[in-house]
Amino acid sequence: MRIATWNVNSIRARAERIGAWLDRSDADVLAIQELKCRDDQFPREVFDSRGYEVAFHGLNQWNGVAIASRVGLEDPQIGFAGMPAYNDADEARAISATCGGVRVHSLYVPNGRELGHPHLDYKLEWYRALTSVVADRLAADPEEKLVLCGDFNVAPLDEDVWDMAAFEGATHVSPPERQAFSDLLGAGLTEVTRQFTPGPGVYTYWDYQQLRFPKKQGMRIDFELASQALAATASAAMIDREERKGKGASDHAPVIVDFDL
């Protein structure tokens, strides 16, 4: 089964590119983040016309998550138990469904904005709640095939940014954020992409500003975190850097993992 994750940074603006990418990628499941649209605006025809079932959750012009699958899509659920809100407002940041026997989560982790900002506290709380849910689920069924896909808004290693000096005093690389990511892995997950796409200089995101992409100044913040039962079946992975090129590209590239189930 080929499972991909992609922060598309506006699904309506990228609909044609997403369809073309599905046609050539052979993805069985695509976890999507940053839809930037309400549910009534979602371009589901892109997926319906290609034989993909789709579940999505969008509240406004910010955030938004979806899962598209051509191997079945059962028991879709929005959010997760204990998922915190920001300033008492719910955000569309998590959706899950069972696709071909694998529980797939599409996650758009809060950005954190800047050190000392309340949004960073929210981000860390969000990680703690997610970690608790995953730990409880895998403790109940250690053999469950489960994968968390998405934009985690953390660069876990120094090699995951083009220059650590450029991130001094910034989010995404701070010790608390990296610890939160590590704690999530400690709940029983394995990051399955790096073994096939080793760094340094291997990124999934390049800011639109200051010619970051042609300068190869990126960040590695998009991952697939698999339970042990699923991670053992991972056979290949790639980051589709070509999809970051050209007119109308997202600032993230698709991340793809093959599992031999």
Q: Is 7 annotated as a binding residue?
A: yes
The catalytically annotated residue of 28, 151, 160, 258 is 151
Complete domains list, the chain, with CATH: 1-257 (3.60.10.10)
* pLDDT (0 to 100) of residue 177: 98
Q: HSE of 179 in the Cβ direction (CA atoms, 13 Å)?
A: 6
Q: Which residue has the tokens 């800011």?
A: 207
| 119 assigned binding-site residue | no
Token representation of residue 69? 């699958």
* 90 among annotated binding-site residues: no
- The distance from CA 63 to its chain's CA centroid, rounded to whole angstroms, is 12
Q: What is the dihedral of CA 235, 154, 96, 35, to 10 degrees?
A: -110
Q: Does 60 show up as a binding residue in the annotation?
A: no
Q: In this structure, which amino acid lies at residue 180?
A: A
- Average pLDDT value for residue range 88-95: 94
Peptide bond into 43 cis (omega under 30): no
Q: Give residue for tokens 């073309």.
A: 20
Residues 244 and 46: their CA atoms lie apart, in Å, by 20
252 an active-site residue? yes
List Cα–Cα distances, 88 to 31, 71, 84, 129, 187, in angstroms.
26, 36, 8, 16, 27
pLDDT at 143: 98
Task: Quickly state the pLDDT bin for 197 (edges 50, 70, 90).
Answer: very high
Task: Give the rounded distance of the alpha carbon of 5 from its chain centre.
Answer: 6
C-alpha–C-alpha distance, residues 190 and 204, integer Å: 18
Amino acid at 5: T
Model confidence at 120, in pLDDT bands (50, 70, 90)?
very high
Does 153 count as an annotated binding residue?
yes
Classify residue 87 by burial, with Cβ atoms within 10 Å: 0-12, 13-18, 19+.
Answer: exposed
Q: Which tokens is 87 given?
A: 């300033």
Q: Are strands 146-151 and 102-108 parallel, antiparallel or unpaired?
A: parallel
Position 213: which residue type? F
pLDDT mean over 165-191: 97
CB 252 within 8 A of CB 7: yes
Q: What is the mean pLDDT of the chain?
A: 97
Global pTM?
0.97
Distance CA 237, CA 186 (A): 22
105 is a catalytic site residue: no
pLDDT at 165: 97
Catalytic status, residue 151:
yes
pLDDT of 206-257, one tens digit each?
A: 999 999 999 999 999 999 999 999 999 999 999 999 999 999 999 999 999 9
Q: What is the 3-state secondary structure (H, E, C) of 40-63?
A: HHCCCHHHHCCCCEEEEECCCCCC
Name the nearest CA neighbour of 143 among 208, 231, 76, 221.
Answer: 231
pLDDT band at residue 103 using 50, 70 and 90 as cut-offs: very high
Check residue 190 and give its pLDDT. 98
* pLDDT value of position 251: 98
- Determine which one of 52, 108, 127, 205 is catalytic: 108
Question: Nearest-5° angle of CA 56, CA 61, CA 66?
Answer: 15
